[in-house]
Every structure is written in C-alpha cells, then in structure tokens.
Structure 1
Amino acid sequence: MSNSPWQRTAFSVGPLCMTAYGLIRLTDEEHGPGLAWSSGHLFFLAAVSCFVPVVLGMRRAVAAGRGRAGRALAGAGAVTALLGIASVVAQAAIDLVAGFLSEDREAMRELFRRVKSHAGVEPAVYTVGPLLFHVGLLLLMTQLAALRRIAAWRPVVVVAGIVATGVSLDLLPAAGLLFLLAFAPLGRQLEEPERRPLTATASPGR
C-alpha cells in the first residue's frame, strides 16, 4: 500500500519543524514565557506529531513479506516509538500551557515544579517516556537497514542527531538537519514495499 501525500511529506516536515523549533529556541534567551516560547513549542508539537505517520510507514515497510516474528519485531519498534511520541506530545502541551499561564520565568518554574510533583509525571513525560521515541525509531531504522531497504548510514545519522540533542538542546537545529538527511527520502522510497525485493542491494542514492 502506498503512502498518502501527507505521509510522504511528513518524512520531511517533521525534521524541518524540529529544526525550526531549535532555531527559535536559540533566539529565546529567557526560555519563556513569550512569543518565542509559544511559537517554538508549536513547531515542536508539529514535529513530533509528524513522526506518527513516519513510524507507521516504517513499520509497514519492515513488516511486509516477513513472518510472524518479523512482524512482531516491527510492531514492537512502532509501539515503542508511539509511546515515546505520546510522552513528548504531553511534554510539549504542558510547556505550552505553562507559557500561556505564566507571567515570567519564575512563575513557569513554579508551575513545572507543581506538575512534576505528581507521582509518575516526571519519568513518564520528561525522562523515560521521551527516550522511547528514540529507541523505537532506531529499532525500525535498524531493521530497515538489515533488510537492505535503506542504506546502513541512515541509522547512524539518526544516532548522531539523538546524541546532539543529548549533548545540548542548543544543537537542536543540527539534530533536525541530521534527521532530515536520514528521513526525507524515505516517504517515497518505502512505498509499496511488498512489491520490492527486500534483499536487493541499496542503490548509491539511498
């Protein structure tokens, strides 16, 4: 089954929105509240939301033509990534609401402290939960590379983007561009995977 035009576009729009968020964040010296905080987090929310069709498209490509174990592994990667996406969406929503409700940075800090004081919120939304997004993406990308659906360097580029965000959030623009390099062509490349031989050697363009 072919990806819809929106699904194909999401492979590029998601990383581009991530890059935009990173650039806007660099202009926000106080890191909220204000126009930069709100607009940046709207791009952040859009970026993460775009990865829902990306994850589903990769899962379909990984699972096509494989046995039960292969489909289960593809499903595990997709579920892990989607759980991570849900966590990051919750984080972005909390940040947006905090920005709208707070008059200054100190008021935002207090609101964040109150939110995180609820049992389970911090690991689910701010620490463990978001990591699942990266783990799921890497599981799917690695499986695609193992099946020779994509070139082996693409998962490596994704790892570089993840490491960049871990080193400093100021590197988000670079991470977004790395994600764009890794994901942008895949919307069309992974179309109708069941009609393409999974063992075919990746072309130089991949």
Structure 2
Amino acid sequence: MWNSPWQRAAFSVGPLCMTAYGLIRLTDEEHGPGLAWSSGHLFFLAAVVCFIPVVLGMRRMAAAGRARAGRGLAGAGAVTALLGVAAVVAQVVIDLVAGFLSEDREAMRELFRRVKSHAGVEPAVYTVGPLLFYVGLLLLLTQLAALRRTAAWRPLAVVAGIVATGVSLDLLPLAGLLFLLAFAPLGRQIDDADRRPPAATATASPGR
C-alpha cells in the first residue's frame, strides 16, 4: 500500500493544505461567500481527505508486531479518526454548498441555521463529530510514541495545534505547521518500515 509516492506524500500534503486554508481564511474579512471562502474550503477538504491514508498508515504501524490488544487499540484510534474525517467532510461540503447558494453572509447564516435545525446535525457535524478526528489522531500518535516508534514530542505538537485552533481560527496556519512538524516525517518512516522485516519494524528508532 505504501509504495505509492502520493500516499507517502499525504503526510505532508494534508498539513500543508490545512495551512493554505488558514492563510486564505485570513484574507477573507467577510468569511464568505466568495472566491476566498470556496477556495479555502477546497484546500481544507483536500487536507482532511489526505488524512485518510495518514490514519491508515499510522494504524498499520501501531499494530505491526503487536498482540490482539495492541491491534485493537490501533484499530479503535483509526475508526475514531475516520469517523471524525467523515464529520469534517460533511461540514466542509455544507459550507461549500452554502457559499455557492448564498448571495451574502446573512443568507449563509440563515442557511446554516436551517441545516442545524435538523435533529442530530449539529452534534454530528459541528461539535462532537469533528472532535473525533483529533482524538483519533492523538490516540494513534500517542500509541506510536509509547511504542517508541516515533518521538514523544510529536503528540505534543498536535495538541498544541489543536489548542491553537481552539483559541482562534486565525491561528489555523500555525496549527497546520505544527501538524506538518508532527506528521511529515512519518510518511518516510512508514515507508522505511515496509522495507524491513517485522522484527526490525517493532524496534524502529523513535528519533524520526
């Protein structure tokens, strides 16, 4: 699976697209609708989609050579993250459609209000659901750090990125760069792990 260059590149492209979205968002004073709104959300959609192979790759690495409990924990982290991916994708698609259909910000607000009025939409798509994405990523990355298959500071970089977005969405470029710092080296590390026998994979250096 990891012989494809684009799959390995997802570990860098995803955070870079997140950074691009944050930078474009800073230029959009009205925050939609318009070119900045649509192009920014397309970058964010690309970022989230790129994290699908990232999640699957980390699950594979965390489960390699482990007992059933370890594989189960890795699987739980992956499922949690992918559920979060689905929620974020749904949110971005709604935002894109709202931007396309609305003439101004007030019309967008009304459309969002109508969407959120449906039972279960707000927690699934706007509050609880997206949080699962970050929780799953942290579960997998923390498991890799505990197994000494990646550096222990990488989960902390992701936590810092999550906190930054929680403080202000204007800090999304910083969050994207922190995610890049945490995830970019893992693409090469997982690729290297595929070239080693299982015993060597289980003792991968945490310094990468």
Q: CA deviation at 1:3?
A: 4.4
CA deviation digits over 1:6-47, x for unaligned, max 9? Answer: 110000000000000000000000000000000000001000
Matched residue type, 1:172: L
Q: CA deviation at 1:195?
A: 5.1
Q: 1:15 corresponds to which residue? A: 15
Q: 1:110 corresponds to which residue? A: 110
Q: 1:153 corresponds to which residue? A: 153
Q: Which runs of 5+ in 2 are unaligned?
A: none
Partners in 1 of 2:36 and 2:4 — Cα distance?
32
Asked if the contact 1:45–1:92 (Cα under 8 Å) also holds between the matched residues in 2, the reply is yes
Confirm or deny that 1:198 pairs with 2:183: no
SS at match of 1:42: helix
Asked if the contact 1:3–1:188 (Cα under 8 Å) also holds between the matched residues in 2, the reply is no
Partners in 1 of 2:41 and 2:158 — Cα distance?
22
Partners in 2 of 1:68 and 1:197 — Cα distance?
17
Partners in 1 of 2:100 and 2:185 — Cα distance?
37
CA deviation digits over 1:111-137, x for unaligned, max 9? Answer: 000000000000000000000000000
Confirm or deny that 1:83 pairs with 2:83: yes
State the identity as a percent.
Answer: 85
Partners in 2 of 1:9 and 1:170 — Cα distance?
26
Alignment TM-score, normalising by the size of structure 2: 0.95
Matches within 5 A, 1:29-178: 29-178=29-178
Matched residue type, 1:135: V
CA root-mean-square deviation:
1.2
Matched residue type, 2:202: L
Task: Give the ranges of 4+ consecutive aligned residues of structure 1 lying more than 4 Å apart after TM superposition.
Answer: none
Inter-CA distance 147–3: structure 2 relative to 1 (3 Å threshold)? farther
Q: Count how many residue pairs are aligned between Structure 1 and Structure 2.
A: 204
SS at match of 2:149: coil
Matched residue type, 1:48: V
Q: CA deviation at 1:197?
A: 4.2
Matched residue type, 2:206: A
Q: CA deviation at 1:196?
A: 2.5
Partners in 1 of 2:131 and 2:203 — Cα distance?
31
SS at match of 2:99: helix
Inter-CA distance 81–153: structure 2 relative to 1 (3 Å threshold)? same
Matched residue type, 2:131: L
SS at match of 2:32: coil
Q: Which runs of 5+ in 1 are unaligned?
A: none
Partners in 2 of 1:3 and 1:78 — Cα distance?
21
